[in-house]
Structure 1
Amino acid sequence: MTYEEEAIQAHRFLTETDPEVFATMTNFAFKEVDGEIDIPRRSKDLSTIGYLLGCQATDEYRLMLPVFLAHGLTAIEVKEVLYQALDYLGMARVMPFFKITNEILQNRSESLPLPGQATTNEQTRLSKGEETQIRLFGPQMKDFSKKGTINRWLTANCFGDYYTRTGLSDQDRELITFCYLAAQGGVEPQLLAHAKANIRVGNDEAFLTKIVLQNVPYIGYPRSLNALKVIQEAANN
Structure 2
Amino acid sequence: MAISETAQKNHEELFPNLKSTLKQTDPEFIEIFDNFNFDEVLKYQNLDLKLRMKITLASLIAMQCVNEYKAMLNGALNVGVTPVEVKEIVYQAVPYVGLGKVFDFLHATNNVFEERKIKLPIAGQSTTTPENRLEEGQKTVRRIAGDAVDKMQENLPENEKHFATFLADNCFGDYYTRKGLDDKTRELLTFSMLISMGGADPQVQGHIRNNVNVGNDKDVLLSAVTVLLPFIGYPRSLTAMNLLNKVLPEK
Q: Given the two structures, how large is their TM-score scaled by the length of structure 1?
A: 0.93
Distance 1:211 1:55, change over 3 A: same
Matches within 5 A, 1:44-59: 44-59=52-67
**Code of the aligned partner of 1:208:** L
The yes-or-no answer on 1:227 pairing with 2:234 is: no
Deviation of 1:94 (Å): 0.3
Contact 1:14 1:22 in 2 (8 A): yes
CA deviation map 1:84-111 (0-9, x unaligned): 1111111010011111111111122111
Partner of 1:201: 214
Partner of 1:133: 141
Deviation of 1:3 (Å): 4.2
SS at match of 1:114: coil
Deviation of 1:150 (Å): 1.6
Q: Aligned partners of 2:119, 2:125: CA distance in 1, in Å?
A: 15
Distance 1:141 1:149, change over 3 A: closer
**Code of the aligned partner of 1:153:** F
Q: Aligned partners of 1:2, 1:47: CA distance in 2, in Å?
A: 21
**Code of the aligned partner of 2:101:** R
The yes-or-no answer on 1:92 pairing with 2:105 is: no
Q: Aligned partners of 1:179, 1:67: CA distance in 2, in Å?
A: 19
Segments of 5+ residues of structure 1 without an aligned counterpart are none
Deviation of 1:39 (Å): 1.8
Contact 1:181 1:187 in 2 (8 A): yes
**Code of the aligned partner of 2:123:** P
Partner of 2:80: 72
Q: Aligned partners of 1:149, 1:225: CA distance in 2, in Å?
A: 34
Partner of 1:21: 29
**Code of the aligned partner of 1:91:** L
SS at match of 1:12: coil
RMSD after superposition: 2.0
**Code of the aligned partner of 2:119:** S
User: Identity of aligned pairs, percent?
Assistant: 37
Deviation of 1:118 (Å): 0.3
The yes-or-no answer on 1:106 pairing with 2:114 is: yes
Deviation of 1:16 (Å): 2.5
Distance 1:35 1:10, change over 3 A: farther
Distance 1:205 1:60, change over 3 A: same
Contact 1:145 1:155 in 2 (8 A): no
Partner of 1:210: 223
**Code of the aligned partner of 2:200:** V
Partner of 2:5: none
- Count of paired positions: 237
